[in-house]
Structure 1
């Protein structure tokens, strides 16, 4: 992780475990909306990593019915950006996931995450438009990736490792 003093104020705000934990909650929320079931831990980490990666976030499909394969063919540069960002953002998101579990906002049921009864507002807001946009992207990715197939296929298509 780069030294925090090298990051802008906005980057420091976006790259903190509490915000990453909120993004994990949003991904689980999206997965539950689409499937009615808990979200696999690996997908709950992947979605926020993708949402935090600007070149990926800005080219996400508009509909959850878009296939992952077609999206990757159209947006091959996004795959490269994700591969570069994942080693930096993965540990941050995992730390946020652990924070969410410790805070009781998330619960682990075998390998699936579910939201607890502790309330996280459904309405997405933020101090800046980017904060709200990243949350919406994580929610969308939770829904979209829940339809993308099995985990090995998803990670292989995106070119990242769990």
Structure 2
């Protein structure tokens, strides 16, 4: 991890571990709410590369009725560079998980799954009055990703659909 003094201001703001931990906790909360089990650890590494990339975030369907596999087939352009984004954001994802655990937003299960802690409060409009429209869109899409992944099959199926390997 880069020291905060060595990060560009834009990088420090966009990849703020508190914000990224919130996105992961929201995804874990909605995944658990629909699947009745915690978010598999490996899937946490797909959340940030999807929701922080504006073109991919904008292309996501509005309903979980659209299956992941059919959406990927129709949106092959979103897969271009995705593996590199996952690799580039791996450190930020780990930092966000550590931050979320340390500050009580995320709990790790026995097998390393992610679950929102009992203290986690989802970022509602009232709680996020200082969020920009982009930050709100990221939180909304992170929740969607949690619900979508819960119905998309196994972790390996989801990774295969996105063209990456855990």
Same fold (TM over 0.5): yes
How far does the alpha carbon of each residue in 1:69-119 deviate from its partner, in whole angstroms, 9 at most, with x for none?
Answer: 111111101011322311111220111011111222211112322222213
Instruction: Pick one of 122, 146, 150 that aligns with 1:146.
Output: 150
- Cα shift at 1:122: 4.7
Paired residues for 1:7-46 under 5 Å: 8=10, 11-46=11-46
* Residues 106-143 of structure 1: per-residue CA shift (max 9 Å, x gap): 11112322222213245153521000000111110011
What is the TM-score of this pair, normalised by structure 2?
0.86
Could you tell me which runs of 5 or more consecutive residues in structure 1 were left unpaired when the two chains were aligned.
none
Q: Give the alignment of 1:2-151 within 5 angstroms.
A: 4-5=7-8, 8=10, 11-111=11-111, 112-124=113-125, 125=128, 126-151=130-155
Mean CA deviation greater in 93-102 or 121-130: 121-130
Ranges in structure 2 where 5+ consecutive residues have no aligned partner: none
Relative distance call for 1:122 and 1:54 in structure 2 (3 A) is: closer
- How far the C-alpha of 1:64 sits from its partner, in A, is 0.8
Instruction: Give the distance between the partners of 2:164 and 2:54, measured in 1 at CA.
Output: 17
Change in CA separation of 1:145 and 1:157 when aligned onto 2, cut-off 3 Å: same
C-alpha RMSD of matched pairs (Å): 2.0
